[in-house]
Amino acid sequence: MAVVPNNSNLPRHVAIIMDGNGRWAQRRHLPRQAGHVAGVNAVREVVRQACDIGLENLTLFAFSSENWKRPAREVGALMGLFRLYFRNDLDEIVQRGARVRIIGNRGRVEEDIRQMIEDAERRTLANTGMNLTFAFDYGGQEEIAAAARELARAAADGRLDPETITPELLSSRLFTSGLPEPDLVIRTSGERRLSNFLLWQSAYAELMFVDTLWPDFGREEFLDALDKFSRRERRFGALPESVA
């Protein structure tokens, strides 16, 4: 049984690429929609567990900018599950004191979803518990390009000296401005890539690829990942004193 790490061993920010819903359904001879429904249940349990153990920041990759390329029926089902999750779970999130933030391109979603996003952020704005971020219609390259365009416009207008552009300044223009960079990025389902998720922010993140499909990623798997993280040595490009 996985042990709950104490707060001193917890990462400040955990980001998760939730992968494997379709394969979970396929292995059970179920439609892909059933896998996405099971995936929402896993979201619910991981969010609860993260709140219970006192995690400060949790970011979940809910829908990528590339997911629009999927069949229209599946995209519609994913949007429906997004609606259902916030209708059914927002009250609990509010009660747990979590603060919701949705990052990504809001211009491509339907108006009712945009309203739900704004309502979730407004209702939880004053909460002081865990920062719960959903990357929704999100792409890391698109995010970096948007930040670069903003700085370029400022420079062209004479409001910014290009020589003063630093990594910190660019970071302040990203969707995640104000959040610490992720310490741990977990990807489920056995795939070993970031898939355009938090590319800039994950420069020094610990990467953990687990074989468990997302719908099966529950309390034990989450705590096990945190335990493994606590035993990793993070050097950020430096050497340990024993070697230096």
Active site residues: 19, 67
Dihedral angle computed from the Cα positions of residues 171, 172, 178 and 183, in that order, rounded to the nearest 10 degrees: 10
What whole-number distance in Å separates Cα of residue 11 and Cα of residue 143?
24
Tell me the torsion sign for CA atoms 81, 145, 185, 211.
positive
Q: Which two tokens stand for residue 162?
A: 């290009």
DSSP character at residue 106: G
Q: In the beta sheet, which residues pair with residue 60? A: 16, 134
Phi, psi (deg, nearest 5) at residue 17: -90, 110
Residue 215 near residue 43, CB atoms below 8 Å: no
Sheet holding 184-187, edge to edge: 99-103, 131-138, 57-64, 13-17, 184-187, 206-209
What whole-number distance in Å separates Cα of residue 236 and Cα of residue 4?
26
DSSP character at residue 177: T
Q: How many CB atoms lie within 10 A of CB 23?
A: 17
